[in-house]
Amino acid sequence: MWLSGNRGNFAYACARVKAKKRFLLSRDAYSRLLVMDVHEIGRFLGETQYRSEMTKYGSKYSGANLVEVAVTRNLADTYSAILSFTTGHLRDMVGNYLKRWDMFNVKTVLRGKLTGASDEEILDTLVPAGAFSEAYLRSLVSMTSVHEVMDALVQEPSLGITQELVREVVDSQRIARLEDHLDKNLYYDLLKVVRGRERANKLLRDFIRKEVDVTNLKVLLKLKAERIPEERIAKYLIPGGMEYGIDRLRAMAQGEGMMQIVEEMEKSSMYEAIKPGLEKFKQDKKLSAMTISLDKALVGTSEKFAHFYPLSVLPIVNYMIRKKVEVDNIRIISRGKQSGLSTKVIEELLVV
């Protein structure tokens, strides 16, 4: 819902975010991290904006587990801080964009319950930055069964969970269909809320539709590689994309092999950004380069949109995306180092 009569504190909020952006890790910092071991990475992070979380969780975790928990909790605190200093319509837009973390947290709680993770382990990997309070998330984690959690979630109107979905999750002990439902629900609500005649609102809506395109293409690539038939792939596609509507995506899914998908991606407005990933796939047939190039293209799009309107919601969304990418990159490096992956392999997995 828009708050009538109050557009929000755009200039102040954008200035605050601009100041935060200066603390994002540089390419040089990533180069340094790539030649460190896990313990050196921890010490490095202890001298950055992650200092507080590294200290707080240092007595409970070590190695890559400590890094992952620390950067994840820092992400949650950063998003909560941004929401706290926005007002009016701006706060509404930021809040609605952050609702993706409600979906993330629901999935995390259920996965934790299904895999037997401890309550503490689940809590430390949550990102309480959406509409669900930390107290509410703690109440879900404290429940003793998946059935109990699902019965609580069905009471949340924003999730739109049906009794049929509850039965499916409880009976199958799988959440794939629920994850699909939550993703579709998120983008449906976002596209419904982000309206208005202002150019910045239109650009944000266009960016969200680009995000839908990227999400659908990554799903299509993954499922097609697993030889999932088109009629099943269609169930996982999200309506509302900018360039790739459902009919076009289904036609891509019907083709033999992956090359029809690659050819359609070569027609995309993102082609120059994703070209390296497409060319690498043609050589080694591995999906990772294509999916990473799609993520890079989305980050580039958010940068471009933010540049167009520096005093709008767009620079804030761009920062939130770049902060999430940074956290993902740090987790990839620390997990890769702990698993013994080569520096070259880890570097190829990063979005920089």
**Distance from C-alpha of 278 to C-alpha of 256, rounded to nearest angstrom:** 17
Q: What angle do CA 251, 188, 168 make, to 5 degrees?
A: 80
Residue with tokens 């169930």: 235
Among candidates 97, 88, 42, 87, which has minimal Cα distance to 319? 97
For residue 139, the tally of other CB atoms under 10 A from its CB is 13
DSSP label at residue 116: T
Alpha carbon distance 141, 122 (integer Å) = 7
Q: What are the phi and psi torsion angles at 292 (to 5°)?
A: -65, -40
Measured distance CA(194)–CA(214) in Å, rounded: 19
Q: In the CATH scheme, what architecture does the domain 196-309 have?
A: Up-down Bundle (1.20)
Token pair recorded at residue 274: 């994703």
Q: Where are the domains of the chain?
A: 196-309
Ordered per-residue pLDDT tens for the chain, 352 residues: 333 347 899 999 999 999 999 999 999 999 999 999 999 999 999 999 999 999 999 999 999 999 999 999 999 999 999 999 999 989 988 998 999 999 999 999 999 999 999 999 999 999 999 999 999 999 999 999 999 999 999 999 999 999 999 999 999 999 999 999 999 999 998 888 887 677 777 888 999 999 999 999 999 999 999 999 999 999 999 999 999 999 999 999 998 889 899 999 999 999 999 999 999 999 998 899 999 999 999 999 999 989 988 999 999 999 999 999 999 999 999 999 999 999 999 999 999 8
Cα separation, 194 vs 250, in Å, equals 27
